[in-house]
Amino acid sequence: MAAVLESFLQHTGIMLLRPIFIVISWEMPSCRGSRSCRRNLISGLLFGTLLVVSAVFGQGQPPDWETQVRKYSQTQDWNSALRIVDQEVARAPQDMDVRAWRARVLAWSGHLAEAEKEYLEVLKASRNDPDNWMGLANVYLREGRTLEALKALDAAMELDPTRADFHAARARALRAAGKRNEARLEFQKALNLDSASVEAQAGLISLRPEPKHELRFGQDTDLFNFANANNDDWMSLASQWTSHWTTSVAGSFYQRGGVDAGKFVGSVTRRQSKWGAITVGGAVGHDNAVIPKSEAFFNVDHGWKNGETTILRGVEFNYGQHWYWYQSSRILTLSSTTIFYLPRDWTLSLGTTGARSAFSGTGSEWRPSGISRLGFPLAGWGAKRLSGNVFFAVGAEDFAQIDQIGSFASQTYGGGVRFEITTRQDVTGYGSYQKRTPDRTDTAFGVNYGIHF
């Protein structure tokens, strides 16, 4: 019996029981005449074995508080997760593993400043855990502090250079810093270490040369309760030749009340990082008295980025002037649009237009109009993205047919969707309903398809 028990102990590696086994082995000869004595000793040994086995194997299981924190984090119940972590910190304030968990939860919940402070406190006490350096680097990346993120990632990789996720994170930081070639090498290293790394694969795809051209086809229709439908078929090509210069050309073919017309539009855009972008262009048309004979316009666009840690991520402002020359009238519009970039890819845009109409035989007149638009994401499946928007417009135009400016007042309700099939293909559609004076309506809808190459 003694030999069997010792073999079991050696086989399982539970050498903590060896002192118990020695005692029992020494006592067992004295129990040879008593079955009850041997039975008691064997029962004691089995009970002790169960206790030690339970203790040894229990060391591989996460503490109950950690399991609860993970569960709450998966459901994004950050208040409950932080409450549990704070209780553990109060119980063991010197336990750096608990403090590291607190930093993670703070970062996941968006409290980046507090997470940074917690990670720095943890790293003061223990600088040998690469995961803590990685956590600090992720906080820096989300704050837009690329250089600090790279330093933290270098420290993590010195401790463990074989982690694919470290190389992928460093590649993200290099990409954010505009160092695309170095980022590509890091993503490739991550993929070499882990061929199944989705982040590394997506990162390499994101660093492919950006498409320079966008070819788009579209069709728009207006259904009136007082006239025949209007149709517009168009095609455009936008080309970004360098980081500073972009050109755009487009052709539109109209059917207005049984009359055919068409026009050609061209523009040039100059971009500069300090002052934004300026676009100038014009159009000429075969008007048949239903569209402008010629047009001219310019736009100035400038934006400010605040980073990802604030509610207002960025602001973009656009101002433009557009001249339309018809056979019997002249139109000048002054427009301004402000776009607010919000968390989770939401946007809010507010626009105003002042239209000056001058008709033959009458004086000129200014009329205002405005539009508000809310954009938001709807769903995502890998590279595929679905987003939507809703808008409301009011004023002296229908925001669809420029030649009708100044002829009525209206209220327009509408919305649209955009489906990104791949990073190089998308489909966009919209619909709107307009109430205009006097008791007239316009139901408009359209769809267009874009290819990037």
pLDDT in tens, 272-317: 988 899 999 999 999 998 899 999 999 999 999 887 778 999 999 9
Residue 367 identity (one-letter amino acid): R
Question: What pLDDT band is residue 12 in, cutting at 50, 70 and 90?
Answer: very low
pLDDT band at 397 (very low <50, low <70, confident <90, very high): low
Q: What is the pLDDT averaged over residues 132-152? A: 93
| DSSP assignment string, 133-154 | HHHHHHHHHHTT-HHHHHHHHH
Distance, in Å, from the CA atom of 107 to the CA atom of 75, rounded to the nearest integer, reads 15
Name all contacts of 72-75 with Cβ < 8 Å and 24+ positions apart: 73/105, 73/108
Whole-angstrom distance, CA of residue 172 vs CA of residue 178: 10
Peptide linkage before 438 cis (omega within 30 of 0) = yes
Cβ-based neighbour number of residue 253 at 10 Å: 15
Q: Which of 291, 266, 293 is nearest to 280 (CA)?
A: 266
Q: What pTM value is reported for the model?
A: 0.61
- The pLDDT score that the predictor gives to residue 353 is 92
Task: Report residue 225 as tokens.
Answer: 């309760």
Average pLDDT on 373-391 reads 94
State residue 359's pLDDT score.
72
- Whole-number CA gyration radius for the chain: 35
What token pair was written down for 118? 């917690």
Long-range (24+ apart) CB contacts under 8 A made by 149-158 are 149/173, 150/174, 150/177, 155/127, 155/130, 156/130, 156/131, 157/130
Helix (H, G, I), strand (E, B) or coil at 453: coil
At residue 138, the pLDDT reads: 93
pLDDT in tens, 56-81: 444 445 678 989 999 999 899 999 99
Q: Which of 104, 108, 110, 111 is nearest to 89 (CA)?
A: 104
Render pLDDT for 317-342 as a digit per residue (tens, 0 to 9).
999 999 999 888 888 999 999 999 99
Contacts of 30 (CB under 8 A, 6+ apart): 37
Both tokens assigned to 191: 């993929």
Looking at residue 365, its pLDDT comes to 81
Which residues, other chains included, contact 371 with Cβ-Cβ below 8 Å and sequence gap of 6+?
349, 350, 351, 353, 391, 392, 393, 394, 395, 399, 412
DSSP one-letter code for 341: E
- What letters, b where the CB count within 10 A reaches 16 and e where it falls short, cover 311-348? eebbebebebebbbebeebebbbebebebebbeeeebe
Q: Mean of the pLDDT values across residues 429-453?
A: 94
Q: Quick one: pLDDT band at residue 423, thresholds 50, 70, 90? A: confident
> What pLDDT, on the 0 to 100 scale, is given for residue 437?
83
Is the model's pLDDT at 404 over the cut of 50? no
Contact 124, 111 (CB under 8 A): no
CA distances to 233, 333, 408, 412 from 441, in Å: 22, 24, 11, 10
Which residues on adjacent β-strands are paired with residue 219? Answer: 233, 447
pLDDT at 407: 59
Binning pLDDT at 50, 70 and 90, where does residue 409 land? confident
CB–CB of 301/279 below 8 Å?
Answer: yes
- pLDDT over 50 at 449, yes or no: yes
CA pseudo-torsion sign 163, 169, 173, 176: positive
How many angstroms separate the CA atoms of 386 and 131, rounded? 34
**Structural domains of the chain, ranges and CATH numbers in brackets:** 2-58 (no CATH), 70-206 (1.25.40.10), 216-452 (2.40.160.40)
